[in-house]
Chains A and B, each alone.
Chain A
Amino acid sequence: MSEPMGFYTDTTVCIGCKACEVACKEWNQLPATGGGRHEMSGDSYDNTRRLDGEHWRHVKFIEQFSEDRTDGRWLMMSDVCKHCVNAPCLEVCPTGAIIRTEFDTVVIQSDTCNGCRACIAACPFGVIGINDVSNVAQKCTLCYDRLQAGMEPACSQACPTDSIRFGTIRELKEMATARVEQLHGLGEKRAYLYGADDKFLGGLNSFYLLVDQPEVYGLPVAPKMPTRNLIPSSLFSTAGAVVLALLGMVGLRKRRMDEKAVDEGDHV
C-alpha cells in the first residue's frame, strides 16, 4: 500500500477558469450530458451546475451580492469526490463495486456496478451520478490510472493557480495548515480547513480551505455514516413485526371465543 494520496483545494486562489473540468473530461473521456445538447443555467456563469456521472469536477460559483448589487463577491470552489476515509458510498454498495485503492482513494468498478443507486442516496456530498453512456454509477477516481503510472491527476496538473494541489495527505496537510496561518496573518480570519482532520467520516482525502460556512458552499456541516441508523431502525421494525404477529393471533383467539360463545348460546 502506498501512502494515502489526495487533493487539497485552496478555494481562495480559484479563479473559476474550469480548466480542471475540461482536463477531467478530456482524460476520462467523459461524454457530454444529453448527447451534447447545450444547456445554459441562465442565472449564473456556472453552467455545469452539479457533479454527476459525466461531471467528476465541478467549479462551484457561489455568487453573493448585496440587494442593490453595488457590492458582491464570488466564492469559487472546484468540487470533486471527497475520497472519504470512511466512505458512505463504499459502506452501502451492495455489489462490492466500490473499493478502496492502495492510494486510500475510493473507486467504483464499472464492470461490477449494476446501477442500483444506493451510493447516490448514501453520499452526503451529492457526488455520484449515473453516466448515461456506460449506465453505471460513476465519479472521480482520483485518476487511478494515472496514479498507477506515477502521474499526477489531470485536474490538478491543469490548474493554473495551484488551487488544486495533489500529493500525499501528510504533505498536503502541512501545506494547508501553513496557508491558513498565512491568511490569518494577512487578516483573512475566516479561513479554515474543511475535512482535513478526522472530525467527520474519518477525514476527507480531498479537503478544502474555505472562507465561509460549509453550507454556503453546499457542503454538509457534519456528515455521518449511513449505518448510524441501522440498529435503531431495525429494532423498531422488529418490534413492530412482533406486535403485528401477536395482534393477528389475539384476533384469531378472540374470534374463536366469540364462536364458542355463540355455540354455547345456541345450546341453552
Chain B
Amino acid sequence: MSDTFFTAAPHWTWWILLYFFIGGIAGTAFMLASLLDWSRVTNPPSALPLVRYGYYMAFIGVCFGGLLLTIDLTRPLRFWHMLIENHTGRPMFKPWEPMSVGSWGLLLFGLFSFLATLSVLGEDLARVQVLQSTPVRWLRSSGPRAVIAVLGSISGLFIAGYTGVLLAVTNRPVWADSHLLGLLFLVSGASTGAAALILLAARRRAADPATVSWLVWFDRNVMMLELLVLIAFLMSLG
C-alpha cells in the first residue's frame, strides 16, 4: 500500500516547472561541454565554439534558474534565508533536505559555470582587455581548468537531478511513491541538454560533423535510457 494519501495540493507551479527544465539543460550542457573540452588530449588554450556555448548556456541557465526560484518565493527578498540563518547569521544547511543542499549546489554551480564562462569568453570578445589579463588566462591553464571542469560537471549533474529527489522527499502521492523521479529528471535533462547543444551547433555552424554526430549518438542513447527509466518509474508507482 502507498505511504501517501492525498490531503492538499502542493503549491509549486509554473516558475518551478520552468526551473526544472532549465536546470536540467544547464547542468548537463556543462558536463557535455567540459567532456568535449577534455577530449582533446593536449592542453589547448582555445576552446571549441561548442565548448564555449555549452559553458555560456550553463551560466545563463543557472542565473535565470536562480532568478526563477527567487521570484517564486512568496517573500523573495528573504531568499538568503536559505543560506544564512537570519536569527544567528550562521550558515543554514540541512544535508537531509534537498532544497537546502540544492541552494548551496546552485551557488557552487553558479560559481563554476561563471569561472568556466570567464575563462573562454575572451575568445568571443577579443577586444575586452580584462578577459585577456593574466588571472583570466590562468583559468585556462591545465590545473584550474581541470578543477573547474570536474567540480562544475559534478555540481551541474547535481542540479539536473536533485529536483526530482526534492519532489520525492515530500508526502505527496506519486512524487513520494517512487525512488526514480530524480533519475528520470536527470536523464531527461541530459537528453534535453544534448538537444540544445545540437540545435546551437546547427544554428551557429559552431561544430564539426564529428562533434555533432557524437552529441546525436549521446542523445539517442540517453533517450533510450529515459524511456526505460520512465517505464520503470510508472511501474514503481504500482
Which residues from chain A sit less than 8 Å from chain B, CB to CB?
Answer: 50, 88, 91-97, 111-118, 120-126, 129-130, 135-137, 215, 218-224, 226-230, 232-234, 236-241, 243-245, 247-249, 251-252, 254-256, 258-259
Contacts and interface: CB of A to CB of B under 8 A. Distances in A.
Nearest to B77: A114
Interface string B1-44: 10111011011100000000000000010011001100100000
Contacts of B187: 240, 244
Interface of B: 1, 3-5, 7-8, 10-12, 28, 31-32, 35-36, 39, 72-76, 78-79, 81-82, 85-87, 92, 94, 96-100, 103, 153-154, 157-158, 161-162, 164-165, 167-172, 175-176, 179-183, 185-187, 190, 210-211, 213-214, 217-218, 221-222, 225, 229
Contacts of B98: 230
Nearest to A218: B7
A114 B81 CA distance: 7
B86 A237 contact: no
A248 B31 contact: yes
Contact of B96 (A91, A137, A223): A91
Contact of B35 (A97, A112, A117, A249): A249
Contact of A244 (B7, B28, B92): B28
Contacts, number: 203
A247 B218 contact: yes
Given A118-B99, A126-B8, A241-B154, 9 more contacts: A112-B87, A116-B73, A122-B171, A233-B168, A233-B180, A237-B183, A240-B229, A252-B39, A252-B214
A122 B5 contact: no
Contacts of A237: 161-162, 164-165, 182-183, 185-186
Which of B8, B73, B87, B180 is the most central at the interface, judged by chain A CB atoms within 10 Å of its CB?
Answer: B8
B198 to A, nearest CB: 13
Contacts of B214: 251-252, 254-255
A50 B6 CA distance: 13
B161 A240 contact: yes
Which of A130, A219, A240, A243 is the most central at the interface, judged by chain B CB atoms within 10 Å of its CB?
Answer: A240
B85 A96 contact: yes
